[in-house]
């Protein structure tokens, strides 16, 4: 969080610098584009400090499912039963229960670590889901 707020101070300084730049080479439109590009880059690179070593995770949805959910969670969250209207093999449904880059703030990770799904999740599933979200909840 501290690191995050320092980034925003940096962003404000960059905006002031662009705005006050004597060359006036950039129009207000350019400023918007520069700030947008900066924010877009932040959304990819900003994430919490990982509690796991995720270097062996490729960040793909199918790889996450292979860590255990495909076998365990599908007992209830499959296409037919759709328990709680949640299907674990449906990327959109699972992705919407995450904050990409922030597993410890994501509903699905909280559910399998301290919530009502924790008894179904072993350590492989917990790490698989953690690293998938940490890598950006990609498809
Ligand atoms: C024996 C059946 C069963 C299994 C196995 C199971 N769940 Fe669930 N799940 C439920 C039920 C029932 C609910 C709704 C009640 C609740 O939230 O506790 C639920 C709710 C959820 C929710 C909340 C869905 C929403 O609406 O946001 C998530 C996320 C979830 N489960 C993930 C998992 C994961 C991940 C696994 C595998 C590790 C798993 N579940 C295994 C029965 C199951």
Q: Are residues 34 and 66 in the same domain?
A: no
User: Residue 94 CB: number of other CB atoms within 10 A?
Assistant: 24
Q: What is the pLDDT of residue 2?
A: 43
- Residue 56 forms part of a structural domain: no
Per-residue pLDDT of 78-101, as tens digits, reads 999 999 999 999 999 999 999 999
pLDDT bucket at 30, cuts 50 / 70 / 90? confident
- Residue closest via CA to ligand 1's atom 2 equals 76
**CA of residue 117 to ligand 1 center, whole Å:** 5
Residue 24 has pLDDT above 70, yes or no: no
In a domain, 52, yes or no: no
Q: Are 109 and 52 in contact (CB under 8 A)?
A: no
Q: Which atom of ligand 1 is nearest to the CA of 116?
A: 18
H-only helix segments in the chain: 2-20, 28-45, 61-66, 69-72, 91-95, 107-113, 123-134
55 lies in some domain: no
Enclosing domain of residue 65: 61-134
Mutate to test the pocket of ligand 1, among 71, 75, 76, 91 (most ligand atoms within 8 A of CB): 76
Give the chain's domain count.
Answer: 2
Judge whether 106 lies within some domain. yes
Q: What percent of the chain has pLDDT over 90?
A: 67
When pLDDT is averaged across residues 66-89 and rounded to a whole number, the result is 98
The closest residue, in CA terms, to atom 8 on ligand 1 is 117
Distance CA 73, CA 117 (A): 9
pTM: 0.77
> Per-residue confidence at 48, pLDDT binned at 50, 70, 90?
very high
Q: Buried b vs exposed e over 8-39: b needs ≥16 C-beta within 10 Å? A: eeeeeeeeeeeeeeeeeeeeeeeeeeeeeeee
Atom 27 of ligand 1, residue of closest alpha carbon: 97
């Amino acid at each position: 969080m501290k690191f995050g707020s320092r980034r925003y101070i940096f962003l404000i300084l960059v905006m002031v610098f662009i705005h006050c730049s004597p060359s006036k080479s950039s129009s207000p439109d350019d400023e918007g584009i520069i700030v947008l590009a900066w924010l877009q880059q932040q959304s990819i690179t900003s994430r919490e400090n990982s509690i796991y070593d995720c270097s062996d995770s490729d960040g793909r949805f199918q790889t996450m499912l292979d860590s255990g959910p495909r076998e365990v969670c599908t007992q209830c969250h499959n296409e037919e039963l759709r328990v709680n209207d949640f299907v674990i093999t449906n990327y959109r449904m699972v992705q919407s229960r995450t904050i990409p880059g922030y597993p410890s703030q994501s509903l699905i990770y909280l559910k399998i670590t301290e919530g009502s799904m924790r008894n179904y999740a072993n350590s492989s599933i917990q790490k698989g889901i953690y690293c998938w979200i940490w890598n950006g909840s990609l498809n």
